[in-house]
Chain A
Amino acid sequence: MTSNLEEPLRAKAAELLSSGKVDLLIGYGRAFLGESVRPVFLRQDADTAKLIWNDRCAHNLATYLMKEPCLGLVKGGGRVAVVAKGCDIRAIATLIQENQIERDRVHIIGMACSGVRYDEDSRDMAIKCRGCEVQLPALYDDLIGSEADTGEVEGEPREDIERILALDRSARWEFWTRELSRCIKCYACRQACPMCYCGECITEKSRPQWIDKAASLKGNIAFHYIRAMHLAGRCVACGECARACPMNIPVDLLSRFLSRRVEEAYAYKAGMDPEADPFFLVNRQDDPGEFIR
């Protein structure tokens, strides 16, 4: 399904590239498989015909901001434009909060979004889109579309966290050992995550080896445990880790749950305000402390 936002998007992209306002534009283009979509990197306005916009544009392109060639380009004073949905923009805002990229180095092309789908067969929108609060982005340099383009997201409400919370302790552990035992440690979740930008991941450090390298149940639990901790209060629930997982593990559940708890207990939600202090960087005298004896 193509969208009527495709033409305005291409026009805006051509304008940005031809005027030299940006040096690189990351957007969505067509992939071979089925109706699927993949990221494209554009450097000249002639390429903008490659740009597409439809309900298959699920990828969070903000993840490329923390990788080459964007890193080098930004360091050298260049500017990068990113086609981004509301959820992706939360990731960009978090990167700005964490001083990873300067606001004026990234040109955000915000897209009014009515939900995305992961595969062509499913009629329902991706589970991450249910209950979305950022269908119309709040932070952008250009906005493509308007309130009118943010149709209601169809499908049952998302209740995967509730389903786990309804389990008793041993059933939860059983659930996680079942899911995590099949992790092969390809690190697709980490590489896809816009928030996992460490130059050297703790899993790669071996002196000392805090996290077991082996893709055994023990090593897998260690990896997902520490990934969840590192993403607590930072996860923007873009769902890229779960989408990237070749073994179909709901890897986003842990970090999403923690971010929700942080939101409930501290009234802090990642990526909603690029000026706000990151969650773990600050503290308050009246932070919750009832659990401390």
Chain B
Amino acid sequence: MVKSRPRIVAFLCNWCSYAGADLAGTTRIKHRAEVRVVRVPCSGRIDPTFILKAYERGADAVIIGGCHPGDCHYVSGNLHARRRFYVLRELLGFLGIEQERFQVTWCSAAEGEKWARTVDEVCDTIERLGPLESFKSMTDYLRIPEKEISLSDE
């Protein structure tokens, strides 16, 4: 049997984390390929519904990437996000969803290596935890069949 690979959705802020992930690519740092990146203007733009939708559509984990405190392009978007995601993380735990499936990282445009490390670590964690079964049974009919998203091994 083929082991199912984790599906990870990342919401990255345009100004820091997305550029950091880009840097990881341009400097050819190898990292796990199971992450799908969605670029957002700011980590403060990320609504709890985005994360819910990601889980509903089959994500096993979500990574949020924002600027380090003090670096926000919009001054305090990441600080608002920090409060929001503290609360969200508590909610997930209370509902019975592993908090490891929700990761937040401050990653600057210069931290390509940090981004690569984060992705690898989260992939390892999710492989250990296994797929997010909680939502699976409810949403089978919405999920993309496994074959359509098969990732080619290098």
Contact = CB atoms under 8 A, between A and B. Distances in A.
A82 B87 CA distance: 32
Nearest to B49: A210
Interface stretch (A54-62, A111-119, A139-147, A254-262): A254-262
| From B80, B105, B138, residue with most partner A Cβ within 10 Å | B138
Given A280-B83, A283-B82, A285-B69, 6 more contacts: A202-B49, A221-B95, A225-B52, A225-B91, A292-B104, A293-B105
B96 A293 contact: no
Contacts, number: 103
Interface residues of B, number: 36
Contacts of B139: 218
B49 A164 contact: no
Nearest to B106: A292
A64 interface: no
A233 interface: yes
B95 A279 contact: no
Interface residues of A, number: 43
Interface of A: 164-165, 167, 169-176, 202, 210-211, 216-218, 221-222, 225-226, 228-229, 232-233, 254, 257-258, 261-262, 265-266, 279-280, 283-285, 287-289, 291-293
Interface string B73-91: 0001001101111111111
Contact of A173 (B52, B86, B97): B97
Given A293-B104, A293-B118, A287 B48 contact: no
B49 A176 contact: no
A173 B92 CA distance: 10
A254 B94 contact: yes
Given A287-B86, A292-B106, A218 B79 contact: no
A226 B49 contact: yes
Contacts of A164: 94
Contact of B76 (A280, A283, A292, A293): A283
A229 B90 CA distance: 10
Contacts of B93: 169
B139 to A, nearest CB: 6
A174 B49 contact: no
A270 to B, nearest CB: 13
A175 B87 contact: no
